[in-house]
Chain A
């Protein structure tokens, strides 16, 4: 994973709350077996509407999404993160995220920063008044700045550290391999195992 420090780019004001992962990427696109190439699928249903914000000329190469509360609720599909990332987004700012979505983001280098409802409203106001204006997100200071305004966002400290360092989770965990093996040596014999498969006798 690449190290993440600051990002400057076009910010999209999306005044919608409860944007579930079915809206971010409909299930029909989940049949693919690859991890990239999902940019066409992002917000697929809404993009059929010419008025939809991502269809407007000012927002053709965006990097930051500023969206309402409960973004990324519902399905665990990591494809939602891949689609945002493939479209060019590096940051999503929202007052609240679905838990699984937020976890998935941190593992794929997409920053999910939590802002207050008031700051979301203020940012929307500025971005709507200046379509296509660039916003700078600084992960070291945990701030988002546009024009004269700077707001702070929250991100889990461990996720922030991993993003700043560009660290891979599995590699980190495997440093604890000896402790995993030690734990396994105490596992009770009656705990479930899938192998060998047993006959069903109902």
Chain B
């Protein structure tokens, strides 16, 4: 405990504080005065090929080094192919971008996990799997889904390329304090309902702008019951509600995930770290600037119908009628979305046919996600005319899944088993939807053209993705139970342990 509070002011110890405020206070290098921002120290900087080349260029132009290569790590993920990774990347601009990252990392002394390395993969899967993402740290990355790392009780911020350069040069960021919002999810999720359904329901409730200026803290019994993978799924999509970050206070689940990982503290350091981590939870009596309460008991599988992640409904519901929307802007956005998605108001969500199922992305590509889907599809066949891509979040996840035999289950089902990367979440590599194609996707954004020009995306959980691949229409595991294709007891609860 000797290290835990020595940079906090005595006052800060007395006033009840939230988790976010504690992490902020602990990283204060200089307090802002007269409207200037605070200067916040950054513990971990994650780098990938897309948002870094211009930042490295800026350093070169100014003759500046990377201040702390030992707090910086890079991986290749957005552009990387998921097939034939032993061959040169066919797309020349993608290849140039990857080669630029390799040159920059060599020049500036940055650790890089390249294609073919076991730790290569989506940057937000790699940080946690290495044990680098820890409670109470500040994490940044030139990627909005950096919010993922908040699942460990870290303050994790997506930043732009100018800020990437700023962190490289100074290991700090000038930031104005954020407001705090408690998202309390009470009760217990029913089997077949997952963390993904919680966060889609939260975004539908508060809207894509509802979290703007806030750090969200997810709390309540349903959050406590989630695995780290589930918490990462939730924090990952905080940005889709417009929030700067999402956080979950660390607990025994967090520590069990971290202990023994390559870069987790060990020995006496572990005890010191845990003693500090135990002080992070929001104090009794601390106040939030806003609060949202959700009931997990009544939550159903949730899916999107439109072109932003807030345009979602329960899977058992119908496509809403824009005419029923009061707000004129929301109404016209809904009209435009239905036109783009080629959907008619009143259509049952379960009647919507898909062409493609994508299981992957920083939201849902960890081994638990793959297990959950495999539980549903094992011994069955993919629906006629449907293709399914399974893209593990990292090379290590792929190997872990193969050790459990999950690859064989997916292949026997008729799915494609790919190499790790961001893949069809944003289609910067060849994994894209064709114009007009419709996809049930475990990713995080259903924006127009996100998965390929003219492509249509429905955001779903891994369980809904699996059931949809079997039936060819948006479905939950409970529909398979009704069809007599799945035993009542076979619908997985949230956490699917290793087989």
Q: Is the CB of B170 within 8 A of A180?
A: yes
- CB closest chain-A residue, reference B27: A183
Chain B proximity mask over A165-191: 1 for CB below 8 Å, otherwise 0 = 000011011101101100110101111
Q: Is the CB of B137 within 8 A of A169?
A: no
Q: How distant is the Cα of A90 from the Cα of B439 in the complex, in angstroms?
A: 37
Q: How distant is the Cα of A75 from the Cα of B44 in the complex, in angstroms?
A: 20
Q: How distant is the Cα of A45 from the Cα of B340 in the complex, in angstroms?
A: 12
Q: Is the CB of A22 within 8 A of B450?
A: yes
- CB closest chain-B residue, reference A107: B162
Minimum CB–CB distance for B377 against chain A, Å? 26
Of the four ranges (under 10, 10 to 19, 20 to 34, 35 or more), the interface on chain B belongs to 35 or more
Q: Which of B263-271, B279-287, B477-485 contacts A (4 or more CB under 8 A)?
A: B263-271
Q: How distant is the Cα of A70 from the Cα of B213 in the complex, in angstroms?
A: 12
Q: What total of A-B pairs shows CB separation below 8 Å?
A: 220
Chain B proximity mask over A93-118: 1 for CB below 8 Å, otherwise 0 = 00010111001100110000000000
- A129 adjacent to chain B (CB < 8 Å): no
Q: Which of A28-36, A53-61, A140-148 contacts B (4 or more CB under 8 A)?
A: A28-36
Q: Is the CB of B242 within 8 A of A98?
A: yes
- CB closest chain-B residue, reference A97: B212
Chain A proximity mask over B181-223: 1 for CB below 8 Å, otherwise 0 = 0000000000000000000000000001100110000000000
Residues of B within 8 A of A107 (CB): 160, 162-163
Q: Is the CB of B213 within 8 A of A192?
A: no
Q: Is the CB of A73 within 8 A of B427?
A: no
- A5 adjacent to chain B (CB < 8 Å): no
Residues of B within 8 A of A27 (CB): 78, 426-428, 450
Residues of B within 8 A of A34 (CB): 53-54
Q: How distant is the Cα of A15 from the Cα of B64 in the complex, in angstroms?
A: 43
Given contacts A28-B427, A81-B160, A170-B166, contact A193 B6 (CB under 8 A): no
Residues of A within 8 A of B79 (CB): 31
Q: Is the CB of B131 within 8 A of A70?
A: no
Minimum CB–CB distance for B499 against chain A, Å? 17
Q: Is the CB of B51 within 8 A of A192?
A: no
Q: Which of B90-98, B294-302, B314-322 contacts A (4 or more CB under 8 A)?
A: B90-98
Q: Is the CB of B272 within 8 A of A190?
A: yes
Q: Is the CB of B29 within 8 A of A156?
A: no
Minimum CB–CB distance for B157 against chain A, Å? 8
Minimum CB–CB distance for A177 against chain B, Å? 8
Q: Is the CB of A96 within 8 A of B308?
A: no
Given contacts A76-B142, A183-B29, contact A189 B269 (CB under 8 A): yes
Given contacts A158-B35, A192-B131, contact A180 B137 (CB under 8 A): no
Most central of A17, A20, A30, A31 by chain B CB within 10 Å: A31
- CB closest chain-B residue, reference A176: B30
- B371 adjacent to chain A (CB < 8 Å): no
Given contacts A173-B170, A176-B30, A202-B260, contact A108 B242 (CB under 8 A): no
Q: Is the CB of A158 within 8 A of B209?
A: no
Q: How distant is the Cα of A32 from the Cα of B263 in the complex, in angstroms?
A: 33
Q: Is the CB of B308 within 8 A of A18?
A: yes
Minimum CB–CB distance for A139 against chain B, Å? 16
A interface majority secondary structure: loop
Contacting B at CB under 8 A, from A1-44, are 15-18, 20, 22-23, 26-28, 30-35
- A62 adjacent to chain B (CB < 8 Å): no
Given contacts A76-B51, A191-B137, contact A17 B272 (CB under 8 A): no
Q: Is the CB of B39 within 8 A of A45?
A: no
Q: Is the CB of B447 within 8 A of A194?
A: no
Q: Is the CB of A198 within 8 A of B70?
A: no
Contact of A198 among B93, B263, B426 (CB under 8 A): B263
- A69 adjacent to chain B (CB < 8 Å): yes
Q: Is the CB of A174 within 8 A of B170?
A: yes
Minimum CB–CB distance for A161 against chain B, Å? 8
Q: Which of B171-179, B358-366, B468-476, B486-494 contacts A (4 or more CB under 8 A)?
A: B171-179
- CB closest chain-A residue, reference B29: A183
Q: Is the CB of A20 within 8 A of B308?
A: yes
- A134 adjacent to chain B (CB < 8 Å): no
Beyond known contacts A75-B143, A177-B170, A190-B269: 17 more, CB 8 A cutoff: A16-B336, A17-B329, A20-B445, A22-B449, A27-B78, A30-B50, A74-B144, A74-B445, A75-B144, A98-B242, A99-B212, A100-B160, A108-B162, A173-B174, A183-B7, A195-B69, A198-B263
**A interface, CB within 8 angstroms of B:** 15-18, 20, 22-23, 26-28, 30-35, 45, 68-70, 73-79, 81, 96, 98-100, 103-104, 107-108, 156-158, 161, 169-170, 172-174, 176-177, 179-180, 183-184, 186, 188-195, 197-202
15 A-B pairs within 8 Å (CB atoms) are namely A26-B453, A31-B50, A31-B91, A31-B93, A33-B53, A33-B97, A33-B100, A76-B146, A78-B54, A180-B39, A190-B265, A191-B43, A192-B44, A199-B262, A200-B118
